[in-house]
Chain A
Amino acid sequence: DTAVSQTPKYLVTQMGNDKSIKCEQNLGHDTMYWYKQDSKKFLKIMFSYNNKELIINETVPNRFSPKSPDKAHLNLHINSLELGDSAVYFCASSATDLYEQYFGPGTRLTVT
């Protein structure tokens, strides 16, 4: 059973488009996260939700909008995609923000 899953795995799109990435966890965790891993493989947190409430919002362009319809799901919508948005986006979850985080397989976004 996949603990943290993301769709799609690959996403290729043109500049200016709007796209969404979905994440689901079946671990019963309360906290979920979005991370961005850039071309230099550096991993940085973008957002965190606890029980559907936004608790961490790093300095991310407002073209990025996370949404958590319920505790098990956290989606990321990106408007007006730019070349610099090309990266691998990882979803993660943990019991609370104090505990071990479990990561999804990542979504490789390529903006052309």
Chain B
Amino acid sequence: KQEVTQIPAALSVPEGENLVLNCSFTDSAIYNLQWFRQDPGKGLTSLLLIQSSQREQTSGRLNASLDKSSGRSTLYIAASQPGDSATYLCAVSLFSGGYNKLIFGAGTRLAVHP
């Protein structure tokens, strides 16, 4: 059974710091891994998607890496800003019953203060 764990559960940092959010998964047979952002009371916004054959993806100040063999992914946020405050969710795509489905971690709640 695929389990996704995110560490830390919560993080509070001053503005300007570089951050690393961690995601680990128990079954390395994933199709892809997706990082999402969720603002309070809102839906999920897709940040980055890494295919299983890729090692990393970058978008602006965000960089996500994937080490499938060790079951780990990290989301690196450079020069954090108060607007980055949100919950960050990691999800792996698991092939089951002929189709792929996303298995989510519990998220890391990030607060960036001025």
Contact = CB atoms under 8 A, between A and B. Distances in A.
Q: Which secondary structure dominates where chain A touches chain B?
A: strand
A15 interface: no
B106 A42 contact: yes
Q: How large is the interface on A (under 10, 10 to 19, 20 to 34, 35 or more residues)?
A: 20 to 34
Interface in A24-49: 40-45, 48
Interface in A64-84: none
Nearest to A4: B43
A12 interface: no
Given A41-B106, A100-B34, A105-B43, A55 B99 contact: yes
Interface residues of B, number: 26
Interface in B78-103: 87, 89, 91, 93, 96-103
Contacts of A99: 49
A86 to B, nearest CB: 15
Contacts of A41: 87, 106-107
A57 to B, nearest CB: 9
Interface of A: 4, 40-45, 48, 50, 55-56, 90, 92, 97-106, 108
Given A48-B101, A56-B99, 12 more contacts: A4-B43, A42-B106, A43-B91, A43-B104, A45-B103, A98-B100, A100-B49, A101-B46, A101-B102, A103-B45, A104-B43, A108-B41
